[in-house]
């Protein structure tokens, strides 16, 4: 998905028309629900259940809302720095590449944890304490 979004930003920078914007947004939204969200949820399979729910609450409140605020500041900064919309699209493409690299690193870390013995986090943590 990050590669498609980066390509979409570059395409939109080169051809800033509404049809390109709509197509890129449709592909991004479809990919978010088809690939990104299930992949993100899969990262929690190697985490104990209690930690998973604490992390999810933190991520959904602090990280997402903080990300909204930061993205508004970044948008304002882009407006001040770049007089050309194409520059903003190219910066967005760079951010998408960083997103892809981060996702790749998270996937590798997940595979390493999954391959470790005793990585079955779906077991009930109270069951382990009772032994």
pLDDT at position 118: 62
Long-range CB contacts (within 8 A, 24+) of 11-19: 12/89, 13/85, 13/86, 13/87, 13/89, 13/90, 13/93, 14/86, 16/85, 16/86, 16/89
Query: What's the token pair of residue 82?
Result: 């770049």
Separation in Å, CA 14 to CA 20, 28, 87: 10, 18, 10
pLDDT band at 124 (very low <50, low <70, confident <90, very high): very low
pLDDT > 70: percent of the chain: 86
Domain ranges (residues) in the chain: 2-119
- Closest to 6 measured CA to CA, from 100, 115, 71, 73: 100
| Confidence at residue 69, expressed as pLDDT on a 0 to 100 scale | 87
Q: What is the pLDDT of residues 12-49, one digit of tens each?
A: 888 889 999 999 999 999 998 898 888 878 777 777 88
- Cα separation of 18 and 69, whole Å? 26
List pLDDT tens digits, range 59-84: 878 888 888 888 888 878 777 766 77
pTM above 0.85, yes or no: no
């Amino acid at each position: 998905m990050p590669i498609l979004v980066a390509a979409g930003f570059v395409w939109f920078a080169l051809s800033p028309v509404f049809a390109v914007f709509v197509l890129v947004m449709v592909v991004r939204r479809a990919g978010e629900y088809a690939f990104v969200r299930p992949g993100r949820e899969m990262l929690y399979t190697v985490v104990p259940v209690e930690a998973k729910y604490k992390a999810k609450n933190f991520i959904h409140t602090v990280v997402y809302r903080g990300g909204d605020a930061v993205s508004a500041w970044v948008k304002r900064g882009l407006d001040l720095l770049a007089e050309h919309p194409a520059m903003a699209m190219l910066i967005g493409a760079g951010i998408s590449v960083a997103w892809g690299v981060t996702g790749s690193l998270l996937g590798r870390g997940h595979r390493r944890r999954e391959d470790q013995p005793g990585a079955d986090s779906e077991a009930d943590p109270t069951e382990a304490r009772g032994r």
